[in-house]
């Protein structure tokens, strides 16, 4: 290189790149002040478009990750969302959480999760939920998402005014913002499907007592049975597992119940129903029709493929985050209640009775 030639600084290669890139590194390689980099990171309007593009390119090249703490000092927000949840071993709650997390990450938020340890949901007390919520509040979360498969009335009252929050799957009469799927309507559509095929004696295998989803699905089933003048049979409780669906079906058969259709409150229990019926020499849907709930990825591959009720968990996650962020931006904003419908997916486990 001759003395008249000048070199311009270029971003370090992967080998030479510092392990902990700072905002000052970004500023130096961009040829701007660190205050300008801060304004770009926090999306301030008063940055020239070509400068913003240069800074963003350098951030990408250096693989710079802004500190949430430093960003919080500017925005007075932590970019953290707290989630209080129960039943993460179940398909529905785990899918809801996954979609909440994905939706949060899309808008630059991280999620802090606290799970309630009680195995039996009936043991969950208001104080347990409030204690978990306040623990998250100590970490400076900007808002809370509560996966509420329990009676949420007192919980909503206890949280009111302390921090923006949204309750997922709470009933609309709760005094607080809620986002949910119509469990009652989904169960009613499943039951109406069986009734429309001509089934008059329907067995319902319910989820465990204490779960609001189980209660609403049970009520949706019963409403169609009563309105349609169908024969009322005893309800058998399960615990969401395939084993409990299997055992409940065997108990119903041993009790001498004569049914031609089964509505199981989730797909795992429906799998147990199919196994029990086959064990007793009954065919599906020849002797008994079966409907589940959730439309898990495996449901289409049951033998036979399962008729079930599909819930849009992605929509639930997106809307809950959207509503929470609205309340974070507008703390005095009015509370709203969103209830989304479900979809009956008809496959090969339902047919008219013989």
Give 82 or 171, the one with higher predicted confidence.
Answer: 82
Highest CATH level, class, for 78-181+313-340: alpha beta
In this prediction, residue 19 has a pLDDT band, given cuts at 50, 70 and 90, of low
Residue 243, pLDDT above cutoff 50: yes
Burial class (CB in 10 A: 0-12, 13-18, 19+), 108: exposed
User: How far is the CA of 105 from the CAs of 42, 99, 109, 163, in angstroms?
Assistant: 16, 10, 5, 20
Please report the pLDDT score of residue 299 as a whole number: 98
β-pair type (343-345, 308-310): antiparallel
Give 121 or 352, the one with higher predicted confidence.
Answer: 352
Taking the CA atoms of 283, 285, 291 and 295 in sequence, report the sign of the dihedral they define: positive
For residue 73, report the phi and psi dihedrals to the nearest 5 degrees.
-65, -30
Burial class (CB in 10 A: 0-12, 13-18, 19+), 2: exposed
> 37-46, 246-255, 286-295 — which is least confidently predicted?
37-46
Please report the pLDDT score of residue 147 as a whole number: 86
Q: Do domains 1-76 and 78-181+313-340 have the same CATH topology?
A: no
Please report the pLDDT score of residue 150 as a whole number: 62
Burial class (CB in 10 A: 0-12, 13-18, 19+), 112: middle
In this prediction, residue 85 has a pLDDT band, given cuts at 50, 70 and 90, of confident
Please report the pLDDT score of residue 199 as a whole number: 98
In this prediction, residue 35 has a pLDDT band, given cuts at 50, 70 and 90, of confident
What is the arithmetic mean of pLDDT over 327-347? 92
Question: Which of 174, 201, 209, 94 is CA-nearest to residue 335?
Answer: 174
Please report the pLDDT score of residue 40 as a whole number: 82
CA-to-CA distance for 234 and 258, rounded, in angstroms? 11
CA-to-CA distance for 261 and 301, rounded, in angstroms? 20
- 98 close to 85: Cβ distance less than 8 angstroms: no
Please report the pLDDT score of residue 273 as a whole number: 98
β-pair type (289-291, 261-264): parallel
| E strand map for 121-264 | 143-147, 165-168, 178-181, 202-206, 236-237, 261-264
In this prediction, residue 42 has a pLDDT band, given cuts at 50, 70 and 90, of low
Instruction: Tell me what percent of the residues of the chain surpass a pLDDT of 70.
Output: 84
Please report the pLDDT score of residue 64 as a whole number: 81
> 10-24, 57-71, 82-96, 172-186 — which is least confidently predicted?
10-24
In this prediction, residue 13 has a pLDDT band, given cuts at 50, 70 and 90, of very low
Please report the pLDDT score of residue 156 as a whole number: 65
Please report the pLDDT score of residue 260 as a whole number: 98
Highest CATH level, class, for 1-76: mainly alpha
Task: Tell me which CATH code domain 183-311 carries.
Answer: 3.40.50.2300
What is the arithmetic mean of pLDDT over 212-237? 96
Residue 245, pLDDT above cutoff 90: yes
Please report the pLDDT score of residue 73 as a whole number: 47
Question: Which of 240, 92, 223, 220 is CA-nearest to residue 100?
Answer: 92
Classified as helix, coil or strand, 291 is strand
Burial class (CB in 10 A: 0-12, 13-18, 19+), 60: exposed
Q: Domain limits of the chain?
A: 1-76, 78-181+313-340, 183-311
Give 276 or 121, the one with higher predicted confidence.
Answer: 276
Residue 16, pLDDT above cutoff 50: no
């Amino acid at each position: 290189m001759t003395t008249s030639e000048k070199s311009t600084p270029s971003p370090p290669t992967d080998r030479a790149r510092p392990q902990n890139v700072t905002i000052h590194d970004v500023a130096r390689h961009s040829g701007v002040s660190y205050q300008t980099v801060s304004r770009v990171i926090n999306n301030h309007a008063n940055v020239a478009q070509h400068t913003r593009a240069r800074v963003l390119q350098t951030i990408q090249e250096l693989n710079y990750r802004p500190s949430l703490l430093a960003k919080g000092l500017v925005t007075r927000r932590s970019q953290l969302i707290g989630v209080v949840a129960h039943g993460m071993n179940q398909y529905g709650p785990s899918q809801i959480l996954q979609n909440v997390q994905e939706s949060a990450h899309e808008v630059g938020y991280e999620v802090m999760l606290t799970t309630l340890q009680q195995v039996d949901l009936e043991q969950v007390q208001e104080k347990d939920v409030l204690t978990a919520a306040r623990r998250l509040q100590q970490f400076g979360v900007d808002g809370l998402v509560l996966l509420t498969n329990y009676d949420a009335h007192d919980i909503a009252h206890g949280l009111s005014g302390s921090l923006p929050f949204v309750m997922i799957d709470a009933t609309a009469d709760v005094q607080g913002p809620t986002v949910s799927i119509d469990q009652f309507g989904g169960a009613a559509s499943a039951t109406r499907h069986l009734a429309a095929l001509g089934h008059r004696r329907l067995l319902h295998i319910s989820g465990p007592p204490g779960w609001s989803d189980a209660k609403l699905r049970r009520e949706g089933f019963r409403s169609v049975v009563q309105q349609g003048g169908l024969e009322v049979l005893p309800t058998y409780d399960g615990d969401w597992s395939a084993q409990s669906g299997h055992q409940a079906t065997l108990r119903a058969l041993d009790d001498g119940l004569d049914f031609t259709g089964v509505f199981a409150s989730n797909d795992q229990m429906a799998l147990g129903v199919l196994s029990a019926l086959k064990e007793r020499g009954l065919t599906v849907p020849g002797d008994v029709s079966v409907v589940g709930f959730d439309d898990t990825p495996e449901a289409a591959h049951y033998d036979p493929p399962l008729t079930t009720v599909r819930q849009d968990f992605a929509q639930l996650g997106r809307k809950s985050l959207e509503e929470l962020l609205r309340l974070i931006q507008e703390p005095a904003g009015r509370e709203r209640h969103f209830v989304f419908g479900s979809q009956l997916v008809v496959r090969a486990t339902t047919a008219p009775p013989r």
